[in-house]
Structure 1
Amino acid sequence: MNERIWIPYCGAAPDPGGLIGRWNLDPGLLCLFVAISAIAFVRTAGRPRERALFFAATAVTLLLFVSPFCALTSALFAARSAHHVLLTALAAPLIAAAMPRSALNAIRGGPASWTAVSALILWLWHAPSLYGEALSSNAVYWLMQASLLGSAIAFWATVRASSSVAAVAALLAYMVQMGLLGSLLTFSDEAFYAPHALTTTAWGFSPLEDQQLAGLLMWVPGALAYLCAALARLHRLLEDEVRPNGLPA
């Protein structure tokens, strides 16, 4: 690994003692949150469920980008992995669930195509060279975040709008590819990510141990989120096959 100095968007990697004070108060980011929240508040008037879902997604993104968790992702690749899982498997489906039917219908393509697109974007940003660029340039960093979140929203939106059979197939396919990426990181005997070569020891991890923990987070809780969603849709499919009196259709 080289000795390049990395300056990620969330700032220099903190040590454990300094993490609590590392809130990201970027004025541009905070203004964006306020503007989007105001628009969503107006657009969800009369729809309390959708409003609640959107503001739950906002709370997740505030945790990821404003709280000290943002700085932790500069230190640990495992935190970055958790960040990506929370962004794509929690914030994105909350946003998709809050979208009106007209917005769902406006998305071109079905769950199969968005499974492929979202998975490809996830793998590309875990390539060591592209990941390094994202931690070297704010523009590339936000391109990474926007592409991960945008493709994940489209994936979850098309899953929501599709039949249960298509939705379950897409969710299981996504679960498998995320588990595969997680297993590759977990079982590697080499640390891939140069930005974390000198930032993990203060947290009690070697760079390889940090990477292996990141892989486990993707492999187990990350993939589990898609499995749970698939099981929920499968349950709905089975309910649809049963008559109101409880007898098979």
Structure 2
Amino acid sequence: MNRTSRLWPLVAGALILVAVWVGPLAVRAASSFAAHMIMHMAVVALAAPLLAVGLARAFPAATNRIPAGVAIVASFAEFAIVWGWHAPAPHDLARTDAFVFAVEQTSFLLAGLIVWLSALGAAGATQLRSRAAGVVALLVTSMHMTLLGALLLMSPRTLYACAEICSPLATMTPLADQQAGGVIMLIVGGSAYLVGGLACLASILNDTSARPA
């Protein structure tokens, strides 16, 4: 496998970030919670894992030396970052202030990248404990993404002042816009990390079953 074919995830991840942050979606995100959530999921569930795979292929030795505990710590750090930015005041500020919005998006990318990169490093380790840490980190992240998505979906009222101040998509009420964002997080965010965790778990089981008794 040549270098270009090995590093295509790195290029793909970078292109997704350009499309999300420079394209029309960024403009729409100021007036739609669902569009804002699409940006978030594109960053943490598409771009971040692709960039992590590309970096792991480019620097396998460095990635495999990431301590096992980093994956667990990173998963809880992402929990704090994601839930923190979805608290009403920070979220409304990110929707109305360009600088805060840039800080929010950068923190989403860094948190997601560290989780995926540390999980991949754990998956490439030889010790079972290290590889299990990567599985736990991805599954914990999947659970809190699913929980937050369900909260946004089932809330009987809008949680953000910007739902009323900002103009939502013309065909959607503010509550429906929020519920659509919850569905996107629940399905995309929950599924991406779940699939990643199960893939890492499958690699452990396959290696274990392949060992001679």
TM range, smaller chain: 0.7 to 0.9
Q: Could you tell me which of 211, 214, 219 is aligned with 2:186?
A: 219
Report what 1:32 is aligned to: none
- Give, in whole Å, the separation in 2 of the partners of 1:238 and 1:63: 37
Q: Could you tell me which of 133, 137, 148 is aligned with 1:170?
A: 137
Report what 2:95 is aligned to: 135
Report what 1:47 is aligned to: 3
Greater helix fraction, Structure 1 or Structure 2: 2
Q: What's the secondary structure of 2:40's corresponding residue? A: helix
Change (3 A) 1:211 1:62: same
Report what 1:199 is aligned to: 167
Question: Does structure 2 conserve the Cα–Cα contact (< 8 Å) formed by 1:172 and 1:230?
Answer: yes
Please report the TM-score for the alignment, with normalisation by the length of structure 2. Answer: 0.86
Report what 1:63 is aligned to: 19
Q: Could you tell me which of 42, 50, 55 is aligned with 1:94?
A: 50
> Following TM superposition, by how much is the alpha carbon of 1:107 offset from its aligned partner in structure 2, in angstroms?
6.0
Please report the TM-score for the alignment, with normalisation by the length of structure 1. Answer: 0.74
Report what 2:34 is aligned to: 78
Structure 1, unpaired ranges of 5+ = 1-45
Report what 1:231 is aligned to: 198
Q: What's the secondary structure of 1:242's corresponding residue? A: helix
Report what 2:127 is aligned to: none
> Following TM superposition, by how much is the alpha carbon of 1:119 offset from its aligned partner in structure 2, in angstroms?
1.1
Residue 71 of structure 2 is aligned to residue 104 of structure 1: no
* Identical counterparts, % of pairs: 32
- Give, in whole Å, the separation in 2 of the partners of 1:106 and 1:68: 39
- Cα deviations by residue, 1:178-222 (Å, 9 ceiling, x for unpaired): 1111111111111122223241251x1110011011111111222
- Give, in whole Å, the separation in 1 of the partners of 2:30 and 2:65: 36
Q: What's the secondary structure of 2:30's corresponding residue? A: helix
Q: What's the secondary structure of 1:135's corresponding residue? A: helix
- Give, in whole Å, the separation in 1 of the partners of 2:207 and 2:160: 47
- Give, in whole Å, the separation in 1 of the partners of 2:119 and 2:23: 30
What amino acid is aligned across from residue 104 of structure 1 in structure 2?
Answer: T
- Give, in whole Å, the separation in 2 of the partners of 1:89 and 1:82: 10
Change (3 A) 1:243 1:107: closer
Report what 2:126 is aligned to: none
- Bigger-Rg structure (1/2): 1
Q: What's the secondary structure of 1:233's corresponding residue? A: helix
Change (3 A) 1:238 1:107: closer
**1:15-54 correspondence to structure 2 within 5 Å:** 47-54=3-10
Report what 2:113 is aligned to: 153
What amino acid is aligned across from residue 179 of structure 1 in structure 2?
Answer: T
> Following TM superposition, by how much is the alpha carbon of 1:103 offset from its aligned partner in structure 2, in angstroms?
4.8
What amino acid is aligned across from residue 140 of structure 1 in structure 2?
Answer: V
